[in-house]
Structure formats: structure tokens, C-alpha cells
Chains A and B, each alone.
Chain A
Amino acid sequence: MHEYMGELLSPYIDDELNGEERRLVEDHIKTCKQCQEEVEELRFLKAQMQSFYQGIDIPDISFEEAVIRKIQTIEQEQQEVFSWKFWAALAVGMCVIISVLLTLSPFLYACIRVLYTLFNVGARIAHAVMIIALDMPYLTGALIITTLILIIISGWSVSRLLGTKTTG
């Protein structure tokens, strides 16, 4: 076999050469008996490979059944693992929450006490204001009169402003 043909003959029998390379090989093997024989040998080898492949006995129907059985076993295991993981995660989560609450309980208790005290102080101040207001008989009247005066002044100011805009 000619060396420069060496890398072309194998792809030639596979029909993997481009047009130019193919023509080159075809022209060459017309005149070169050695390369012609090489091509024949390669084709024979290829045919033997195919014959060997076709001669291998294929497993029977138990093959499909075994595959499906394996798939079902894995799926079952995955489900078990999932449910096991779910319950484990839930238990861990609960433990974490409880321990956080227990650790922070003095702080939380102090916060609640502060809030409770503030609320009590606020309620007592409101109560005291109410009592003072009720003890002053003229306070309500004075407040109503002051409010009326303020409303009148506001109304007058608004009408004055509007009047200035229209004339201007």
C-alpha cells in the first residue's frame, strides 16, 4: 500500500471523503493493485465486524422486565428517602425554633415587660387628662368658641385668597 494513500483508504470505504479525495483514491486504485487489495481487505474486515455484531444473541423479554423492576425499586427508594428526609427536616426545624425561643426567652420577657409598662403609663396619662378636663367646667365652652373663631378666620382667609386670584 502506498503511504500517501494510507489515511485515505479507511475513510474511503466509509464514504467519508470529499469529492476531490474520493476521485484521487478511485483513480489510484484503478492502477495500483496493492491499494486495490487493501481496499478489499478493509471492506472484508468491515463486513466481518457487521457479521459479528449481527451474530450476538440479544437478551429475551426478561431484560425489559428487569429494567422496569430496577426503575421501580429506585423510585420506591427515592420516595422513602424523600419522606424520611421530610420528617427529619421537620423535626430539626422544630428543635431549632424551640431552642431559639428558649435561648431568647429572658430578652423576650424583658421586651414584653417594657411594652406593658409603656402601655400602662400611656393609659394613666390619658385617664389623668380626662379627669382634669372634666374638672374644668368652662374648658369645653372655651374650646368650642376658640374652634369656631378659628374656622371663621380660616374661611375668611380662603375667600380672600380666592378673590385675590380672580381679580389678579
Chain B
Amino acid sequence: MDQELFQLIQQAKRGNQDAFSELVKKYKGQVFRHAYAMVNDRMEAEDIAQEAFVKAYFYLPKLGKEYAFVSWLTRIVTNLCHDSLKRQNKKKMIFQTENEAPHQLSNPKSDMEHTQLKLTINEALQKLSEEQRTALILRDMRGYSYSEIADILNIPLGTVKSRINIARASLKREMTRGDEHA
């Protein structure tokens, strides 16, 4: 961890809001993208990311080791994504309407190849279970090692390994299925 970041965290710990704003600027990309990959909704992802930073600000004085800041923030986002998905599932169970489903499976045949790739992998990601999706996002998008993921999710290393393995197999299957339809 570089000295500048260490100082920013220490200043933010003491309640310096300018320093904390710098931290938000630095990590909002990671936090927002993580949330978006999990919930597949920009508005919800933005709410989650903002809430994660607000929580981080108030709990920062309790963070013992500055170098653990990023993984600690990741744990907060992961938990908030879990809460959001739980709420969504409850809502779906209670008010299952036709309008909700197309929102997540919209327009796979776009003209832009990049957009098509985005939608395809995004759709496939959303088909995974929450646990598998979380593990895969932490590994492939956030770049955490297996042991770091085990620490963030508080699960055994073997479970991380198997979740990622199963997630990739399911993702591949879903994407191949997508190709068949296209």
C-alpha cells in the first residue's frame, strides 16, 4: 500500500471528509462495477455503492489495519449486494409480474459487438446462483486470490475453489446455450 493511500485512510479515519471523498473517487469504479455485475441494475448498483461508502465512513475508525481497507470495503459491498438480492427475491415472490422479467433479458441482438458481448456474458452471469456469481466476480473481475476470497466471504478455501469451478462450468453452459439461440 502506498504512503499516500495510507495517509488518506488515516485522515478519513479521523473524520476528514475531503480525504474520504478522495477515497470514494479512487474506489468508486471497483465498488460500482462489482455491485452492477451482481445486481444487473445501474440505479440499484449506484445505491449499493453509495451505501457501501457511507457505511465505510462510519465504521472506518473501527478498521484496525489500513492495508486491509480494500478487502474490507469489498466485504461491505458483497454483504449489501446480498441484502439487495434478498429484497429483490422477496419482491419477486410477492409481486410476480410480467414487467420485471424482460428488464434483465433485454435486447440480445444489438448491432454493436461489444454490447452484444456485454449482454451475453451479463445474462449468463445473472443465471448463476448468488454464491457462484460472487466468487467469480471476486476472482475474475476484482482479481482476488482464492485465499483472499475465502477471507472476504468467510468460507473455506476448498469451497472457493469449487464455487469458481462450478460457476465457470455453468457460465460456459449458459453462454453456449445463448449461441445456439442466436
What is the CB-to-nearest-CB distance from B73 to chain A, in angstroms, rounded to a whole number? Answer: 13
- What number of B residues sit within 8 Å (CB to CB) of A? 39
What is the CB-to-nearest-CB distance from A51 to chain B, in angstroms, rounded to a whole number? Answer: 7
| Complex Cα gap A121–B144 (Å) | 88
Question: Do residues B57 and A71 form an inter-chain contact, with CB atoms below 8 A?
Answer: yes
- Of A16, A49, A50, A66, which is within 8 A of B50 by CB? A66
Max chain A Cβ within 10 angstroms of own Cβ: one of B137, B139, B168, B171: B168
Which residues on the A side are within 8 Å of B168 (C-beta)?
10, 42, 45
What is the CB-to-nearest-CB distance from A16 to chain B, in angstroms, rounded to a whole number? Answer: 5
What is the CB-to-nearest-CB distance from B130 to chain A, in angstroms, rounded to a whole number? Answer: 16
Interface flag for A7 (CB, 8 Å)? yes
Question: Do residues A74 and B136 form an inter-chain contact, with CB atoms below 8 A?
Answer: no
| Complex Cα gap A72–B15 (Å) | 11
Interface of B is mostly: helix
Which residues on the B side are within 8 Å of A74 (C-beta)?
54, 58
Question: Do residues A52 and B121 form an inter-chain contact, with CB atoms below 8 A?
Answer: yes
Question: Do residues B37 and A53 form an inter-chain contact, with CB atoms below 8 A?
Answer: yes
| Stretch of B16-24, B62-70, B100-108 contacting A (4+ beta carbons < 8 Å) | B16-24
Question: Do residues B46 and A63 form an inter-chain contact, with CB atoms below 8 A?
Answer: yes
10 A-B contact pairs sorted by A residue (CB < 8 Å): A7-B165, A49-B137, A52-B118, A52-B125, A52-B141, A53-B140, A63-B24, A71-B54, A71-B57, A74-B54
User: Known contacts A14-B146, A61-B25, A64-B28; can you find 14 more A-B pairs with CB under 8 A?
Assistant: A10-B165, A11-B146, A14-B164, A16-B161, A45-B172, A50-B141, A56-B32, A59-B28, A59-B46, A68-B17, A68-B20, A68-B24, A71-B54, A71-B57
Q: Which B residues form the contact surface with A (CB < 8 A)?
A: 17, 20-21, 24-25, 28-29, 32-33, 36-37, 46, 49-50, 53-54, 57-58, 114, 117-118, 121-122, 125, 136-137, 139-141, 145-146, 161-162, 164-165, 168, 171-172, 175
The 8 A-B pairs with the shortest beta carbon distances in the complex, nearest first, are A49-B140, A53-B141, A10-B165, A58-B29, A56-B33, A67-B53, A64-B24, A52-B121
Q: Which A residues form the contact surface with B (CB < 8 A)?
A: 6-7, 10-11, 14, 16, 41-42, 45-46, 48-53, 55-56, 58-59, 61, 63-64, 66-68, 70-72, 74
